Amino acid sequence: MSFLLTLLVLALVYVSPSSTHDYKKPLQRANYSESGSAHLQFPIVTTRPSNHVFTHSKTEFSVQNSIPNNFANVKQQIAENIRSAISLDPVVPLKRKHPVIEKLTPRQEEVKAAFAHAWKGYRKYAYGHDHLRPISATYQDWFELSLTLVDSLDTLYIMQMHDEFEEAKKWVKDGLRFDRDKDVNVFEVTIRVLGGLIGAFHVDGSDIFKKKAQEIGDILLNAFESPTGLPYSDINLKSGKAHGPSWNPDSTTSEVSTLQLEFCDLSRITGNPVYETTVMKVSQHLHLLPKKRGLVPMHISPVSGKFQKNSVLTLGARADSYYEYLLKQWIQTGKTQQFLLDDYLLAVEGMRDMLMSKTPSNYTFFGEYETYSRFRPKMDHLVCYLPGTLALGYLHGLPEWHLQIAKELLYTCYLTYTSTATGLAAEITHFYMRDTPADADASGLQKDMYVKRADAHNLLRPETIESLFYLRKITGDKKYEDWGWEIFQSFLRYTKVPNGFTSIGNVLSTENTKPRDMMESFFLGETLKYFYLLFSEGTPFNLEKDWVFNTEAHPIPIRSK
Residues that bind ligand DMJ (CB under 6 A): 191, 321, 382, 461-462, 522, 526, 551-552
Q: Quick count: other Cβ atoms within 10 Å of Cβ 151?
A: 29
Closest-by-Cβ residue to ligand DMJ is 551
Name the residue nearer to ligand DMJ (CB basis): 91 or 223.
223
Q: Are 526 and 532 in contact (CB under 8 A)?
A: no
Between CA 561 and CA 555 the distance in angstroms is 18
Q: Write down the least CB distance from residue 461 to ligand DMJ, Å.
A: 4
Catalytic residue among 427, 448, 466, 526: 427
Is-catalytic flag, 255? Answer: no
Is-catalytic flag, 463? Answer: yes
Q: Are 131 and 532 in contact (CB under 8 A)?
A: no
Contacts of 510 (CB under 8 A, 6+ apart): 421, 422, 494
Between CA 63 and CA 46 the distance in angstroms is 20
Is-catalytic flag, 427? Answer: yes
Q: Write down the least CB distance from residue 39 to ligand DMJ, Å.
A: 28
Q: Are 237 and 194 in contact (CB under 8 A)?
A: no
Helices and strands in the chain: count of H runs, count of E runs: 19, 20
Name the residue nearer to ligand DMJ (CB basis): 432 or 491.
491
Partners of 365 in beta bridges: 357
Q: Write down the least CB distance from residue 142 to ligand DMJ, Å.
A: 12
Catalytic residue among 320, 380, 520, 526: 320
Q: Which amino acid is at 360?
A: P
**DSSP label at residue 437:** -
Name the residue nearer to ligand DMJ (CB basis): 278 or 321.
321
Q: Write down the least CB distance from residue 386 to ligand DMJ, Å.
A: 12
Name the residue nearer to ligand DMJ (CB basis): 311 or 551.
551
Name the residue nearer to ligand DMJ (CB basis): 354 or 459.
459
What's the sign of the alpha-carbon dihedral 325, 326, 327, 328? positive
CA 118 to chain centre: 22
Between CA 545 and CA 29 the distance in angstroms is 10
Q: CB-based burial of residue 236 (10 Å sphere; 0-12 exposed, 13-18 middle, 19+ buried)?
A: middle
Q: Write down the least CB distance from residue 524 to ligand DMJ, Å.
A: 12
Taking alpha carbons only, the member of 283, 308, 288, 282 closest to residue 65 is: 308
Name the residue nearer to ligand DMJ (CB basis): 121 or 195.
195
Q: Write down the least CB distance from residue 460 to ligand DMJ, Å.
A: 8
Catalytic residue among 255, 265, 463, 481: 463
Q: Are 145 and 195 in contact (CB under 8 A)?
A: no
Three-state secondary structure call for residue 379:
strand
Catalytic residue among 110, 154, 164, 188: 188
Q: Write down the least CB distance from residue 444 to ligand DMJ, Å.
A: 27
Name the residue nearer to ligand DMJ (CB basis): 228 or 321.
321
Between CA 279 and CA 286 the distance in angstroms is 11
Residues with a known catalytic role: 188, 320, 427, 463
